[in-house]
A and B are shown apart, each in its own frame.
Chain A
Amino acid sequence: MGTLLEVRDLRTEFNSEGGIVKAVDGVSYDLQEGETLGLVGESGCGKSVSALSLLRLIPNPPGRIVGGEVIFEGQDLMKLTERQMRSIRGNKIAMIFQEPMTSLNPVLTIGRQLTETVELHMGYSPEAAVRRSVELLEMVGIPDARSRLSNYPHQFSGGMRQRVMIAIALSCTPRLLLADEATTALDVTIQAQILELIKNLSTELGTAVIIITHNLGVVARYADRVNVMYAGKIIERGTADEIYETPKHPYTRGLLGSVPRLDVDREDRLASIEGMPPDLDRLPPGCSFVPRCPHADDHCRAEMPPLSSKDGTEHVYACWKGHEFGPLELVQTQA
């Protein structure tokens, strides 16, 4: 299997009243065909912006992509014309969003919205598009698909709307699916169903998936590899097992340590990471995590550590002291 996507030093900035906010600050990663990659971090760390940047959907103004390359199937998306970009969106790269309740157009029937993508990209005739839509709805587990085509979004529950969104996203058999907090707004039981659905369909269709979430349990279960983001940068990357068993960055360790657990005495306080995420327009000169890090020293304050590993493995981390940390005790991956 080859490399599907190579992101090199991607930088996206926003103008704000306080100055320039570096929402994505030199992010690099790659994705193999059919791989599922987790992108984890807390709110405002640049997860969603980095995904939208791949599709060049940063609202400008106030935002803009200031540098980097996004090489998808051998071509740099940053160099394409808007028209070429449109033929990739929804066709080669599809995206699903957090809000299933609002991501469908309320005045169009489900059928119209399902057929739109295939008519746009595959040049299907209306009849062929309808046949394909029925197929897609059945694929995502909506019964009585043909009669549901004439329904409007308000006649569907949240879980079903997200199924419809997945059907739309997968209608052109994209090479890459961006799932931006795709299950966050749903009940846990529905969450599990939707994630299983995404996983099964992506395996079946050979679609690579980037799961963007702050839910560590989701990532542990569904991702092959994990990128942990903090303050616009990737600060740790490894296989899901590596990240969960031996997290090297203090931030990752803090995140995993703060997952609520049933087997801890309920009198105990929930572990948390002290402090607030930094303002992205006023980053400290060294490591961004210094103000919240219990292990920080002068070296950390002076110089941002590179994303690397001491022993040359694929499990890399942006911390001067990462190699000192052993397996995280207590943590069992939540599944």
Chain B
Amino acid sequence: MAIEAAAGGQSAFDQLVQEARPKRTVAQNLKRFARRKPAGAISAVVLILLALIALFAPVIATHDPIRDQVAAERLEAPSASHIMGTDNLGRDVFSRVIYGARISLQVGFLAIGLGTVVGMVIGVLSGYLGGKLDLVVQRVVDVLMGFPFIILAMLLVVALGASLLNVGLALSVAIVPRVVRLSRSSTLSVKEEVYVLAAVTIGVSLLRMVLRHILPNTLGPVFVLATGALGGVIVAEAGLAFLGLGIPPPSPSWGGMLNIGARGYMEAAPWMVIFPGIALSAVVFTFALLGDALRDVLDPRLRRGDS
């Protein structure tokens, strides 16, 4: 009986397989993610909160981060009116930390967005086309990777001049080589897949092949790298600011606040260092957690069998 049913066009087995895998909605998928990766889910929530804080900074901040300078209230310890104290110019530290989230996220997303897009295009083309192009591109990447990340970024900021846009650009250039390497290596394995050969046999063009068949299949690892690196880029921006190469004052960047605080007021007004420091570490930590959780979810080897 079973064989007869199987021979009749559609096998009963196929139907069973289909029924065993109900379609999930986006909400259900999110719920599953939360259940399996609580740390990842929490960090995602924290980051969403952070984004909201950055977005609504003017509403949340109690003072203007730049203009509200009260000489009489310099270096005040945390109190009801200044919950994180005031800095050397009498500015409210809490408000500056809140506005600092804007700068950190802007620089972070600008650098990562630009860096991954450019890196992926170069990496996928280099891997897919191979040959001399690949050779040349990879030697250039070798050279760039030879520089420590922060040194490369410093060089570029010095050359371009310090501004939010330029810091973002410099950090994105520093990210590109790593993205190129990663997406090239994913491309090398993806291009051996039968579905790529199958796409060639239906006559797709180079552009369509790369954009539609190769690139989407290499996204997973790049995504993970980007999420993890986002924290790194924010730290790097703080590092540049600490060295005086970041977004110029009086913009309230966390790195810049650390720079001024740590230089002269570490003992007199430790809150000038502690609060931006906590904000910075918390953000980097949550990005790292989210990156880890995403890696587990997106890695096809870990996913196989329970997708």
Contact = CB atoms under 8 A, between A and B. Distances in A.
Q: Do A and B bind each other?
A: yes
A319 B201 CA distance: 36
A190 to B, nearest CB: 7
A90 B201 CA distance: 6
Contact of B204 (A104, A120, A165): A120
B217 interface: yes
B14 A89 contact: no
Contacts of A193: 6-7, 9, 11
B18 interface: yes
A107 B10 CA distance: 25
B198 A108 contact: no
A168 B204 CA distance: 13
B11 A190 contact: yes
Interface string A83-109: 001111111001101010011111110
B199 to A, nearest CB: 7
B202 A102 contact: no
A104 B202 CA distance: 12
A286 interface: no
Interface stretch (A152-160, A216-224, A243-251): A152-160
B201 A120 contact: no
A67 interface: no
Interface stretch (B81-89, B106-114, B140-148, B189-197): B189-197
B216 interface: yes
Contacts of A165: 198
Contact of A97 (B13, B18, B197, B204): B197
B213 A105 contact: yes
| Chain B interface category by residue count | 20 to 34
A121 B203 contact: yes
A201 interface: no
A220 to B, nearest CB: 19
A200 to B, nearest CB: 11
A105 B17 CA distance: 19
Interface string A112-150: 000011001100000000000000000001110000000
Nearest to B219: A107
Nearest to B220: A107
A176 to B, nearest CB: 12
Nearest to B9: A141
A80 interface: no
Nearest to A178: B201
Interface of B: 3, 6-7, 9-11, 13-14, 17-18, 21, 193-195, 197-205, 208, 212-213, 216-217, 307
